[in-house]
Each structure stands twice: as structure tokens, then as C-alpha cells.
Amino acid sequence: MIKKLQSTDAYKQILKEEQTYGLRKVNQIRYLFIFLFSIPIYANSLTDHGSILPNLIAISAYTLVTILHTWVIYKGCDLHKSISSYIAIFIDYVILTSLCYYYWQREYPENFAFIVKNPLLLYYMYPIALSALEFKFKPLIFSIVLAISAYLCMVWIGLTVDMPIAKTWKEYVTGDGMLISDIQSKPLLFITAGGAMLFAIYRVRVLLQKTGDLESKKALLARYFSPSVVNELTENDSAESGDVLKSNRKYAVILFSDIRKFTNLSENMDPQELANFLAEYRTNMLDCIFSEGGTLDKFVGDAVMAVFGIPTSRGENEENHAAVRSARKMLNRLNEMNINRKSKGLEPIHIGIGLHAGIVFSGNIESAGQMEYTVIGDAVNVASRLESLTKEKSVDILISEEVASHLDSSYNLLELGSTEIRGKSQKVKIFSLGE
């Protein structure tokens, strides 16, 4: 009845869509930064003519990379998109580091601490933040590693060229020297901020997978269980809810129905007409079953097998009443369908319904590598046999003595004697159920 849930593909598809969306948003933000950075560059050029060329080269290189990145995002394959992202991140750090080097050579070439203390290094956070929006771990880790590596290389170069060292925080803040104890501050910033982003991506992806699993499970369960049962199975975190689909033996009411003379009926339909008819018929019958809290076990052509009391039970008495009410609703709905069919000049259809109750085995049964949740047992065989007898007895609904014993005098029951059931040593007393 229920195949083994497989939401992995759905999760991967949703994740891929989110990553593509994030990649495009990153690209759009890059264009926004081009505009925002162009304003201070232009303003600085009015007072500092020497900065025009390096700033223009930097913004032009950044714009070129962004345009190429845009083309790859919308035209390239997944591999090219991934490679393009790494290249864009790398070039971002090259541009930022090159600007720091340029201004050091221009402003204070005799003191390498000018680079190590330069606030431009805080812009290393920019590629890290953009990488996080791609919703991927590797580009973000790549960006964090590049930021830390570039900074530590600068510190190492500074120490090898006798960079001035400050002894106190005052000298460090107000002077030219670098404070050794503060060397770890920027790497810690990159690691902390980047790590928080990594954890956020992880949590969102876990939530996305759980949500995808839940929705996939709901969609699959909704094909077989009533909405109330689906909600109970997916929203209740109790141990009982978690074990409800495990193999066990339970009391249940089995309902079998079948369209009479379906073979003759189907021979007069073309394939599409037959498919449309079965879809309409099954939808109507399923609605009657679900409205009373029943569970669809299977469709076999025009035959319907439903179960009441599995996977959850409301008590033997209520499940028997629910099954009988469902059977009556199925006949009433069929009458409505027949009125519509007659208005179209189509032949009316008739069904037989058999009901029996007893202990059945319910659980997941593996077949050909797939899991199917179903019920088997003597009660299933009896219900199937009763449905077959409806045509012979010229009645619409036949119920066993077990089901009848739970009904009161308000039900129009007519005893039809006892019948032999293959596999049972004793005859089964049967009743017809009137309006």
C-alpha cells in the first residue's frame, strides 16, 4: 500500500533550485556593489587624481568578472557555474589584496604594517558573505581559507621585512607598529563569521530536508489514508505514532467493492475514456472511504480494498459503524454518478460491497526491493468472498455476522443464512444491508 518513502531526489531538486537562486542573487548583488563602489571612487578622484587609474582598473576587472559570471550562470552547465564561482571568489581577493599593496607602495612603502593594519582587509568579509548566499559549503570554506591565507601571508612577509612591532595597545592603535598579540584577530573574525554562516547553511539544509521529507510523506500517505490519519502520522511525535506503521496484528474491518460486469463495460470504451472513468470512480469511492476515517489498501482495476482500524483504531464498535457508513456513502455517490451518466446517454454502473472484521496482520512487506504496507489474513479473504456473493444474492452490500454484531436495530439488516468460505471450517452467517 505504501512504497518506501524516497524524498532524497525531491530534496536534491529543491536544494539545487535554491542554490541556483542564490547564485543568481549573488550575481545581482555584485552589480549593486559595482554601482555603490563607483560613487566613492568617483568622489575620491575629484581630490586625489593619483587614485583614478588603480581604482578604475580594480572596478573594471571586477565588472568584467561579474559580466562573465553572469553569462556562465545563465548559459553554462552546472560544472562551469561551479568553476566560475570559485574563479570569481579568487579574483575578488586578488583585487582587494592588490589595492592594499598599491596603496602601501604609494602611501607608506617603508612600513609594511600599513598593509597588515589597513581597514581594506575587512573587505575580505565581502566574498565570504556572498559565498554564503550560494547555499553551498565548499565555496564558503574556500572563501574563508583564502581570506585567512592572504592575511597570514601578509603578516609573514611583514615579519620577514622587519615590520615595526608595537609593544602596547596604545602604540598599536595610534602608532605605526603591529601588535603581535592582535595578529589572530582578523583570522578569528573570518573563522567566526564564516563558521556561523556555515552552521546557518547546515541548519537551513537540515530543515529543508526535514520539510521535504514531511511533505513527501504527507503526499504519499494522502493517497491511502484519510487527512485526519495523515496529520496524526506526520505531526504526532509520540512513540505510538512512530510505531503505528510497524508490523503487528490488529482488529480491523475490511471492505471490498467491485464493479459488476466491468469487463463488458470496459470493452465499449477507448483507452482514454476508460482511464477517465476509473479516475472519476476511484476519486468518488476514495472520498467516501476517507470521510469515515478509512484507509485505502489497494486498487486492483475496478476493485477497491479499504481497511478501517488500521493504522490507528477508534475501537471495534466505531470502526464497524464507520465501515458500514462508508459503504452506504459509496452507493449514494454511485447513484449520483449514474444520474450524470444517464443524462449523457451512458449505461449506469453497479457495484457490490462486502464487509467483514477480524484480526489481521498489518505491516510493511518487501517485494522486489520495495516496501508495501498492507493487511493480510482470514478477514481479508472473507470480505473478498462476501463481495463476490453480492451478485449471487442480488444485493448491494453483504456483511458478516461479526460486523452485524456491532450494529443496532436502526440498521435495516436481513439475515441471508450461512455460506461456506474456502479456508474456513465453519460457515459464515451473512446479512444484507438495506437503505
295-343 tens-digit pLDDT: 888 888 888 999 998 877 889 999 999 999 999 999 999 999 999 989 9
Structure confidence at residue 62 (pLDDT): 92
Least confident of 39-43, 203-207, 281-285, 322-326: 39-43
Beta strand pairing call for 295-300 and 303-308: antiparallel
What DSSP letter does each residue of 51-120 carry, written as one string?
GHHHHHHHHHHHHHHHHHHHHHHHHS-HHHHHHHHHHHHHHHHHHHHHHHHHHHHHH-TT-THHHHT-GG
Q: What is the b/e burial string over 34-69, where b = at least 16 CB atoms within 10 angstroms of the residue's CB?
A: eeebeeebeeeeeeeeebeebbeebbeebeebbeeb
Structure confidence at residue 351 (pLDDT): 92
Express each pLDDT in 119-178 by its tens digit. Answer: 889 999 999 999 999 889 999 999 999 999 999 999 999 989 888 898 888 888 888 888
Whether residue 102 is predicted with pLDDT greater than 80 in this model: the reply is: yes
**Residue 76 CB burial class (10 angstroms; 0-12, 13-18, ≥19):** middle
